Amino acid sequence: MQFEITARDPHSRARTGRLILRSGTVETPAFMPVGSRGSVRGLTPPQLRDCGARMLLANAYHLALRPGAEAVAALGGLHAFMGWDGPILTDSGGYQVFSLAEHRQIREDGVWFRSPVGGERMFLGPARCMEIQRLLGADVAMVLDHCPPFPCDRELATASLERTLRWSAACKESRGRDDQALFGIVQGSVFDDLREDSVRRTIQIGFDGYAIGGVSVGESKVQSRHTVSATAPMLPEDKPRYLMGVGFPADVVAAIGDGVDLFDCVAPTRMGRNGTAFTADGRLRLRNSSLKSDPRPVQDGCTCLCCRLYSRAYVSHLFRVGEMLGPILLSIHNLAFYSALMSEARAAIARRQFAEFSNRVLRRCPD
């Protein structure tokens, strides 16, 4: 992996960069559509390319459950398995495992849990986490972390931070591919001093990139943005910075201003499946009866497949009659909107006008 910064905004911490990975180059800031089980729900790789996506996220935990990492490896690896030839990042699945509160047992060497699929007893520790991601063969692997819930007291936040650090070091020792980048994860909940401690000690271990984890897990918007704003500038300047699971437009733009480079979130596809489109003027709910005869595209000026070919009235009709094309078209539009947002952010940074761009987005899309 190589990463180079190509431009900086003089009035914020925003920067553009070029992330060069085994499967391709990604211009940053960039948004990664989420394909946890090896598929961005309802969309084909050519459609994702047409939306502007250049890097996808998959989840090692979900793929280990079904069809199994060994099965994916036997079929040529994750890229061949899902038909995507661009870069892929695999999340370790730590968040998902720790969300199984009633069905897991934490030990020093990892977590035992009951599979939510078949009920069998399974184990995920640093070595197995790295083995799964080695078999999947993504361009970027994530360490196994302990993501605490919210609300979270200081004792739990400290324990999760220490466990994450121990497991991070073990993951680095267990990595098995020279052509796979490995990112560390910063924890610490909403406690600034714990975040600072986590950053310092994670950097000491040494990774190819650094992620801010444990954000947007139930805390308020003010708390979430403060944590990102306080944490991102402490991460190494010459490494990519990744904000995990945060992705509404206002949150993304605010974090870009803090110096974050990579994002993922289920929001654009989940909201699309539920009938909501992101537009430059805020959210548009296609189930609204006022759109039944609206001949305009979902967003004027958008060049995505949905907006090129179909009216608001038609997309609204699809949702009201339960046709699967409706969720597909809005997922396409929303991912294209996010790609355009990233492109506009990069252009604004290059023009040294990011503040103007950020203010415009935050004014029109406050949530």
Give catalytic residue positions. 91, 264
CB 258 within 8 A of CB 229: yes
- How far is it, in rounded angstroms, from Cα 152 to Cα 180? 33
Angle formed by the axes of helices 354-364 and 325-350, to 10°? Answer: 150
The amino acid that residue 309 corresponds to is L
- With residue 211 as reference, give the H or E element that holds it: strand 209-212
- How far is it, in rounded angstroms, from Cα 180 to Cα 191? 32
Q: Which residues have CB under 8 Å from 303's CB, separation 6+?
A: 336
CB 19 within 8 A of CB 240: yes
Other CB atoms within 10 Å distance of the CB of residue 271? 19
Tokens standing for residue 230: 């306080």
Tokens standing for residue 158: 């400290």
Give the Å distances, CA to CA, from 269 to 66, 252, 313, 367.
22, 16, 20, 17
